[in-house]
Structure formats: structure tokens, C-alpha cells
């Protein structure tokens, strides 16, 4: 069984496209909302009436939302979880690659190759830097998705109830030997980078990551994110 968990907060623009892509290819979808004030919940309710989808409501903060979503998952320890951000789309061949990973790498967590839904130097440069980060630091972020067997997820402690860097925490708990790059892309919205400037946002994210790795409280850092 494959359950997809999607944290949402005012995701009305992107959520319908992701849900349409997942339809008929996964066993279950859990939309875990953090207090949307747009049409996100209306979109989710429409899907609930037509498919095997659940809505988990509660406080915002992606770590809280992801951990909450797992509690709504059907099945048991042998089933698989796929965590996706609402503003992403999966690239060609994702279904076959997920099946391959599930069949051959049950003890490892998979993540997708990062790509922006934008062209130009900066989107390509940042995607290249993400690849380097994954290769040399074994540190994929949450916007690259995470495919993980439920018992492995629980063994490493799952997502912490944090507002920021919950993805870094679980990846560090997994460690390099339990990670695998999937042979498929995930396409992420470049909207925030385009609005704030690619260089500015990248440098700010790097500064926040360094502060977190040096011991700063992730909830305090979230106010600057």
C-alpha cells in the first residue's frame, strides 16, 4: 500500500494539479492542512468525495502537519509513505521508479531529482547546487519528496513537530546509507524564488541552515524563513 501525505497551507493554485497527477496511481492520499484561508479545503473536500482521500486538520507548521498526516494513514508497518509538498509535480516515469524502489530497496528512503518549473540560469544553477548537496552532504530537502517504508520512518523517529527543518532532521536520522536518489524528477514551483530573487533567497536559506546546524532553535528560525 502506498499512502501520499501532502501538507497544505493556502495551496489552491498548485494542489489540484498534484492531486490529478496522483489519482489512480496511489492507494491513499492524506491532505494535512495547517489552517488554509483560501479554497484549499474546498478542493480537498471535492477529492474526498471522489477518491480514497482524507483531510487532517490542525495547527500549521510543516513538521506538525507531516507527523499528523502519518497518524491518519491506513495499513501497517510494511506499507509505504510518500511525502510531497503541495507545490510540486512529479516527472516522467515516477510511477515505475517508485515501484522499482519499493520492490528492491525496502530498507532505504528515496528522494527525487530536484528541478524548478522555470527556465534560465538561476533555476538551473540552484538545481545543480541541490545535486551537489545531495551527493556530498547526503542532504535532500523536503521539496524533493520522501518515499519511505513506514517501519523505517518510525525507527528513525519520524518528522519532529517543528515549523522548519523537519526535513533536515529526518534525513540526518536516516543517514547516507539509508538514502537513495530516485531516477525521476520532481518539479517544484519557483514562485518564491522569483518573487524574492534567486540569489537573495538562496543566501538567506543557507544562512538559516548554518544557524540550525550550529544549534539554533528551528521554530525561532522559522520566523525569518
- Cα 201 to the chain's mean position, in Å? 19
Tell me the per-residue pLDDT of 38-95, one tens digit each, with 9 for 90 and over. 999 999 998 877 778 999 999 999 999 999 999 999 988 789 999 999 999 999 999 9
Q: Which of 22-31, 46-55, 161-170 comes out lowest in average pLDDT?
A: 46-55
Looking at domain 2-195, what is its CATH homologous superfamily? Answer: Spore Coat Polysaccharide Biosynthesis Protein SpsA; Chain A (3.90.550.10)
Identify the band that residue 136 occupies on the pLDDT scale cut at 50, 70 and 90: very high
- Mean pLDDT for the stretch of residues 154-171: 96
CB of 122 closer than 8 Å to CB of 44: no
- CA dist., res. 94 & res. 82, Å (int): 12
Environment class of 108 (CB within 10 Å of its CB; exposed 0-12, middle 13-18, buried 19+): middle
Determine the Cα–Cα distance for residues 152 and 58; give it in Å rounded to an integer: 25
Q: Which of these, 88, 117, 118, lies nearest to 14 by C-alpha position?
A: 88
- Give domain limits for the chain: 2-195
pTM for the whole structure: 0.96
- CB-CB contact of 19 with 5 (8 Å): no
pLDDT digits (tens, 9 = 90+) for 100-124: 999 999 999 999 999 999 999 999 9
Mean pLDDT of the chain: 94
Amino acid at each position: 500500500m502506498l499512502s501520499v501525505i501532502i501538507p497544505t497551507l493556502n495551496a489552491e493554485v498548485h494542489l489540484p494539479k498534484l492531486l490529478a497527477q496522483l489519482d489512480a496511481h496511489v492507494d491513499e492520499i492524506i491532505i494535512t492542512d495547517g489552517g488554509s484561508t483560501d479554497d484549499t479545503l474546498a478542493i480537498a473536500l471535492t477529492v474526498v468525495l471522489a477518491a480514497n482521500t482524507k483531510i487532517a486538520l490542525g495547527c500549521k507548521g510543516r513538521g506538525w502537519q507531516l507527523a499528523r498526516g502519518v497518524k491518519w494513514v491506513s495499513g501497517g508497518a510494511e506499507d509505504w509513505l510518500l511525502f510531497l509538498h503541495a507545490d510540486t509535480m512529479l516527472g516522467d516515469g515516477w510511477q515505475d521508479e517508485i515501484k522499482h524502489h519499493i520492490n528492491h530497496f525496502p530498507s532505504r528512503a528515496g528522494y527525487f531529482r530536484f528541478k524548478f518549473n522555470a527556465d534560465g540560469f538561476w533555476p538551473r544553477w540552484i538545481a545543480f547546487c541541490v545535486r551537489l548537496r545531495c551527493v556530498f552532504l547526503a542532504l535532500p530537502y523536503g521539496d524533493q519528496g520522501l518515499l519511505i517504508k513506514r517501519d523505517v520512518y518510525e525507527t528513525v523517529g519520524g518528522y519532529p513537530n517543528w515549523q522548519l527543518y523537519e526535513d533536515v532532521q529526518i534525513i540526518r536520522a536516516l543517514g547516507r546509507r539509508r538514502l537513495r536518489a530516485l531516477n525521476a524528477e520532481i518539479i517544484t514551483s519557483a514562485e518564491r524564488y522569483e518573487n524574492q530573487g534567486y540569489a537573495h533567497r538562496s543566501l538567506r536559506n543557507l544562512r538559516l541552515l548554518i544557524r540550525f546546524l550550529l544549534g539554533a532553535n528551528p521554530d525561532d528560525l522559522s520566523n525569518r524563513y
